[in-house]
Structure 1
Amino acid sequence: MDQNLTAQPSADHPTDDLLTLKSIGKHYGSVSALHGVDMSVAPGRVTCVLGDNGAGKSTLIKIIAGLHQHDEGEFILHGEAVKLKSPRAALDAGIAAVYQDLAVVPLMPVWRNFFLGSELTIGRGPFKRLDVQKMKEITKQELFDMGIDLRDVEQPIGQLSGGERQCVAIARAVYFGAKVLILDEPTAALGVKQSGVVLRYILQARDRGLGVIFITHNPHHAYPVGDSFLLLKRGRSIGYYSKSEITVGELTAQMAGGAELAELAHELEQLGGHDEQLAEAEMGIDP
């Protein structure tokens, strides 16, 4: 096993899930960024992680992607308890993260971005060169398999829509052997139409057998594609549900804080009534 990944055999852990987190916690000095979080990721299923800014989503991603190591709990990967020591260790274990900025080079062709850092070559020694034709063919086919038909993979990736660029990043991760795909707020900066495009690509990845972790703050994007939902608030889980256990309305209320939302609605209602009384008084109407 990679020296950047430590593991201990675990006979009593189920192996049907690709990845399981049990009571995961992370501290930065005296600050608890994550505490007691449980989650599992299975092949061909989408696990949605929801929460507002500061909920702990970024910390959770960094632990799964090997950027940080957890301080509490168990990270079980393919049936073994592990600590991923680096992003390379995570990639070697089949975990790929697609971040919001996508890390693409806008002026480079689509195919160059697809193989960026992992270019195919032919020949040896001084005759070694890029296998441009092969890379173009693979890029075009992989994108087609994900549901996007680009006539020209030579065009700069910066000319693609936001949804199409997300597709290139997802298809790249699939091609290079990802088993677990982390998507960090892929629809956050997109309009309604392009968000729909990305959600279709998420389903494409799911249908190809990947375990997808979809990070979002939008329950209306999560619910149509999700199979299970982890809700985070201030680094703690406030709910972990399968789709049959929760409706989109309940999911939204949980995220907003049902009691807090009801209290706010009551305050606004009272404020509205107070404003009406002020208006009547100004008009000389006796309430």
Structure 2
Amino acid sequence: MLDATENMFQYGITPLKLLARYQDGSSFCLWQNHSPNNCRTLRPLFLIREKETDEDLLNMVVPTTDKARQELASDGIFVTADGQGYDVNVIVHDSMKDLKFKRDISGLGGADCILCTTKQADWTDRTKVAEGFPINRSAKNSLELYNELVDENGLTKKPLTTSDQSSITVTHSYINGTTWFLKVLYRCHADYQQWIERSDVRGEPVRRAKDRVLEAIYTETGLYLDRVNSAGGKGGTSTNGPQGRRFFSEEVLASIEKLVDEKHRENLLLLHRQFSTVLSVVSSSRKIDLMKNFVSRLHTICVTTSHGS
């Protein structure tokens, strides 16, 4: 069991932008945070030496912050500047939580996905992937299920939060995307066409390929990826958000191209480029013009990427 002194729980807010709205409905951006993921812009509300799954901690932090968000959204705040008073409407986005924490506070510990009610088997069905998976879970519905004592849809305990956990955490998207792509790369490098890696001889080609691939990438780019994080000593890997961003950049493509033979090269490089496009759109801090033809192209990229080709 981990000692509480080895963990630090942080919960805070990051200002995103300040808009001035006029009576005619138009608006003007007075200020915008162009680095919302930068820790220097975070304003901590809680900084507690405790593990994030501690029940007492969650029962204190989650209801308190939920209530504060709801009050800000309904009441707003009044600001005085240069002798002039201003009513400020506040919109708070509940985001930047990792999946483990979201599962804990949503009560969906048994769900395959906390955004929708699909199962893992659906994610490899090409027809269903092409149709898309609507985000159909909400905190309200989960609480209603619990109150009805219905044991279904992955609900394993009473939800702690009244906030929907439908945000996409950019940093973890890059980390998990890199981890998944490397697993594909190891298998393509070894021409090992099975996903399951066991501890017996069938998994040995993947482990040998992993060592060769990671050494080659490190030598050419300096990226130290997918290694046990000895600094923490309690699990995790060396892959982090900034490294994930670099991994899905053009500079790594040359290394990947050298690591696989012609049999897999074209599809793997295409998969890398499409993954990079999807992650770039998701993580963009700028407004994206969602023109009809752009949405159509992005949909095609997402579907073909999920097919692995």
Does TM, scored on the shorter chain, surpass 0.5? no
- Greater relative contact order structure (CA < 8 Å, 6+ sep): 1
- In terms of fraction of residues, the more helix-rich structure is 2
What TM-score comes out, normalization by structure 1 length? Answer: 0.25
- In terms of fraction of residues, the more strand-rich structure is 1
What TM-score comes out, normalization by structure 2 length? Answer: 0.24
